[in-house]
Amino acid sequence: MPKQVVLLFAGQGAQKVGMGKDLAEAYPAVRELLDQADAALGYSLSQVMFEGPMEELTKTSRCQPALYAHGLALLKVLKDKVPDLEVTAAAGLSLGEFTAHAAAGTFDFATGLNLVFQRGSFMEEACENTKGAMLAMIGGEESAIRELAAESDVDVANLNAPGQIVLSGSVEGIEAAAAKSKEKGIKRAIPLPVAGAYHSRLMKSAQDKLAVVLEQAAIVSPAVPVVCNFEARPVNRPEEIRATLTAQVTGSVRWVESMQHLISQGHTLFIELGPDATLAGLMGKIDKSVRVISIKDTATLDAAVAELTA
């Protein structure tokens, strides 16, 4: 009987030096995919992935293509090893939404690679031109955190899991939010080590530039539902895919609602494709009744294949 799975793809922050190296050494198809990426980008993305340094890999313009290529490389090998794997839906956290669309056939590998490279470059430029920061709020009610964001003139960037919401905005606004967090019943306010204010109004210049690139990209309806971050629902028509991928740059990542939507549709088995198990951890806080298999490298790939073919 075919194994029905939902694919989940990692967002920025999951990157690790060495990502994909063992896969490229073990599977010629992965080496070929990464060679294609290197040629298209005009620099050795694979070398940055394999050797770093972390400072270079963490650059938004490097990190986003790296995670995109890594996720699709893992998927390629998984499909080769589990031919009866039936993908029933896909989703990705922030950047990962582009990988999810590529996996669902919305655009081909090269088109998606160009999109995430451009997106990362535009966001990197926006970070350099604005003074932004992000703050993870642990504990506390969503309503109180939204109230705090409004009072501090910052934006709600991510709703990652119950009790884990991220704020994004100007350094001054984030500092004000951190100072007032205890008053709002928030257990901890943790500054994030990021280059700028992702998923906030400070990314508006990146959003505008990405909209132009998306308008020119060859996009079709995906073969399976892809749940978008911005509206926490599947998007199907090319024009709404362009619109939601654009809106996502400054909009909130509604991850909790996105996962709840998939679970409400009867999905119970998820496969996370990325360098760490962040999404599995978030799902553990969202709904413990579903299973998430995290695939990061050759070892976890082999374990997943054994489970899926048992």
199 is catalytic: yes
101 is catalytic: no
Residue of 61, 94, 152, 168 with catalytic role: 94
CA atoms within 13 A on the CB side of 163: 10
Residue of 70, 101, 199, 261 with catalytic role: 199
Q: Measured between alpha carbons, how far is 96 from 275 in angstroms, rounded to an integer? A: 12
Number of H helices, E strands in the chain: 14, 10
Tokens of 276: 């760490």
Tokens of 229: 């971050």
Strand order from edge to edge, sheet including 132-138:
155-161, 164-170, 132-138, 188-191
At 203, the amino acid letter reads M
R_g of the chain, CA atoms, integer Å: 19
Q: Measured between alpha carbons, how far is 112 from 276 in angstroms, rounded to an integer? A: 22
Tokens of 239: 């024009």
**Are the beta carbons of 259 and 287 closer than 8 angstroms?**
yes
Helix (H) or strand (E) holding 70: helix 60-81
Neighbours of 266 (CB within 10 A): 8
Q: Measured between alpha carbons, how far is 37 from 44 in angstroms, rounded to an integer? A: 8
Closest CA to 178 of 169, 166, 189: 189
Neighbours of 187 (CB within 10 A): 11
Catalytic residues: 94, 199
